[in-house]
Amino acid sequence: MRRLNRKKTLNLMKELDAFPKVPESYVETSASGGTVSLIAFTTIAFLTVMEFMVYRDTWMKYEYEVDKDFTSKLRINIDITVAMRCQYVGADVLDLAETMVASADGLIYEPVIFDLSPQQKEWQRMLQLIQSRLQEEHSLQDVIFKSAFKSASTALPPREVNSLQSPDACRIHGHLYVNKVAGNFHITVGKAIPHPRGHAHLAALVSHESYNFSHRIDHLSFGELIPGIINPLDGTEKIAADHNQMFQYFITVVPTKLHTYKISAETHQFSVTERERVINHAAGSHGVSGIFMKYDISSLMVTVTEEHMPFWQFLVRLCGIIGGIFSTTGILHGFGGFVAEVIFCRFRLGAHRPTSVPLPDGHTSNHLPLTTDNSMH
């Protein structure tokens, strides 16, 4: 009984076989079939390698939503060098809520030399080159996101030698926590003095001839400080053409949540528009000499997520490549054989055209002459 059940099971499985086997004695091989098979296998190998490279690659997915967080503080990371001595300049933030953040709460004033060393000039040149490429090819931003925390630091390298030249500039660096509303970070002459109606700067003791707001922005970012991320103003250098000159940067900050396979952080992207003009009250150009960065917070939040192709999708695409190439090459090979057979048959028919044979009654016969034994030999 067991043997009968096994035989029935085997016969049932044979009937369900969707891949019947053809005996090798019934299979006819040809040179054209071998050539097509070689081309098919080569194509399959090439496309398999390319598909595996696509599987290994990742891409960034962007999602947008309304930013509902209004109570948290916004961090501003600053590293700016101004071509004036530290005792002559002051930096602070004034937002729309008339809340002033004093510069002593997180900024450091460091006397430095404004001119860069050769190594620092090379760093700045490379950073400016990257900035120009980012403006032309926006897809490079995805590469920067994926390489965050892995790439080298984008900070200005320190001087390799101690110069005997006395410091002629002031490096203002550090971070500030401000309200998440529009505000104005500015660097101008004199230290800031708060009072009930706003704030003012002690600029009376500084002569106009010593004004020089030539500056270099080594780093400016909002939110969590992430090494490897290049911001739009990093590496910017402006040289003042006049003592009384105003530099303005209008910045739109977009809250950004970054989720990659390396990091998960909350940062901010921003776009910037620049403007500069000489202060001349006689010509109608009013204002205060200095560097003004007016920022505004976008109501939208961007979530950037690094995604990867699932393994099951990779297998499906791989099976589609293999099956599709086999089917396509088989159809093309069959069609090519059919066309070749039709052409060769026409040539054969042309070589054996019927000849006219005269008959005794004056008529002609177009039939092929019968083959005889002698003709067979």
pLDDT at 248: 93
* Average pLDDT of the segment spanning 280-303: 86
pLDDT band of residue 372 (cuts 50, 70, 90) is very low
Closest CA to 174 of 102, 115, 117: 102
Q: How many residues does the chain have?
A: 377
CA Rg value for the chain: 40
Residues in CB range of 177: below 8 A, 6 or more apart: 73, 74, 75, 76, 101, 105, 106
pLDDT grade for 148, boundaries at 50, 70 and 90? low
Tens digits of per-residue pLDDT, 76-89? 999 999 999 888 88
Matching residue, tokens 């599987």: 55
pLDDT digits (tens, 9 = 90+) for 157-201: 776 666 677 888 999 999 888 888 888 898 888 777 666 666 666
**Buried-exposed string 81-94: b where 16+ CB fall within 10 A, e elsewhere:** bbbbbbebbbbbbb
How many CB atoms lie under 10 A from the CB of residue 212?
21
pTM: 0.68
Write down the pLDDT at residue 352: 55
Full DSSP string of 139-186:
THHHHHHHTTTTSPP-SPPPPSS--SSPP-EEEEEEEEEEESS-EEEE
Residues 244 and 57: their CA atoms lie apart, in Å, by 52
User: Residue 63 to residues 257, 300, 305: CA-CA distances in angstroms?
Assistant: 10, 10, 8
CA distance 329 to 47: 15
**Residue matched to tokens 């004033």:** 109
- The span from the CA of 190 to the CA of 204, in Å, is 8
